Chain A
Amino acid sequence: KAGVTQTPRYLIKTRGQQVTLSCSPISGHRSVSWYQQTPGQGLQFLFEYFSETQRNKGNFPGRFSGRQFSNSRSEMNVSTLELGDSALYLCASSLGTTHGETQYFGPGTRLLVL
């Protein structure tokens, strides 16, 4: 079974631009969560989608948004990029039907904002 895939793997943007990251979950998984990983703050939850609905949202500004499609693929968008948005963005997928299921992480998208 193929794992979680994320595209692109690396991205360089400049301040003020916007960016869209993509995540394809494991086949059959309906929950997709996004996390931001930085050396200073560690892994922080951005949001979770289940069956195209946002189920939970972390404490990030409205510049961070996401969506999920009917095939469970998910995208996250960051508008008006700031230097502090430089990070590794990870998505994780799970079946999403039982509490405490294993979440499988993708390799991440490394975003650098100049």
Chain B
Amino acid sequence: QQQVKQSPQSLIVQKGGISIINCAYENTAFDYFPWYQQFPGKGPALLIAIRPDVSEKKEGRFTISFNKSAKQFSLHIMDSQPGDSATYFCAATQQGGSEKLVFGKGTKLTVNP
């Protein structure tokens, strides 16, 4: 059972464009939603995260939009750069004494110069 669904699987954007990656979840107990960025040969690294009590969080060129009623959240990358080319994973976790992350299947982003 895939608890976090991520789309698209791959995305090609021109330099300076906006990249948008979407995720949907099923478990209403999820209460923390991080996004991870992974470059080839590296482990995932936290990019930005949000909790469901806010609808948007912005850090530099990266913004998370969160829709609690729709159980959806998305990552927007403004002014996309070739250096942003990587695989992006959304994830979710819930309280309960464990830090288990449930990941989406990832989006491979390519930003063309």
| Docked CA distance A104–B47 (Å) | 11
Answer yes or no: A99 CB below 8 A from chain B CBs. Answer: yes
A42 touches B105 (CB 8 A): yes
Knowing A99-B95, A100-B32, the reply to whether A33 touches B100 (Cβ < 8 A) is yes
Asked if B113 is at the interface of the complex by the 8 Å CB criterion, the answer is: no
B45 neighbours in A (Cβ, 8 Å): 104-105
Interface check A43, CB cutoff 8 A: yes
Whether A58 lies near B89 (C-beta < 8 A) is no
* A103, B49: Cα distance in complex, Å: 11
Contact B97 A55 (CB under 8 A): yes
- Most A CB contacts (10 A, CB to CB) among B95, B100, B103, B105 go to B100
Let me know if A58 and B103 touch, CB within 8 A.
no
A48 interface residue per 8 A CB criterion: yes
A17 close to B (CB within 8 Å): no
Number of A-B contacts (CB under 8 A): 68
User: In the complex, how many angstroms separate the beta carbon of B84 from the nearest chain A beta carbon?
Assistant: 19
A30-45 at interface with B (beta carbon < 8 Å):
31, 33, 35, 41-45
With A42-B106, A43-B89 given, is the CB distance from A103 to B101 under 8 Å?
A: yes
In Å, the complex CA distance between A92 and B93 comes to: 14
Bound complex: CA of A89 vs CA of B103, how far in Å? Answer: 15
Task: Evaluate whether A105 and B43 lie within 8 angstroms (CB atoms) in the complex, with A33-B101, A48-B98, A56-B100 already known.
Answer: yes
Contacts of A55 in B (CB 8 A): 97-99
Q: Are A31 and B41 in contact (CB under 8 A)?
A: no
- Identify which of A31, A42, A94, A108 contacts B43 (C-beta below 8 A): A108
CA distance A104 to B36 in the complex (A): 10
Q: Check B61 for interface membership: any CB of A closer than 8 A.
A: no
B51 to chain A, nearest CB (A): 7
Instruction: Determine the residue in chain B with the shortest Cβ distance to A58.
Output: B100
CB distance from A22 to the nearest CB of B (A): 15
Which positions in B face A, CB cutoff 8 Å? Answer: 31-32, 34, 36, 41-46, 49, 51, 89, 91, 93, 95, 97-106
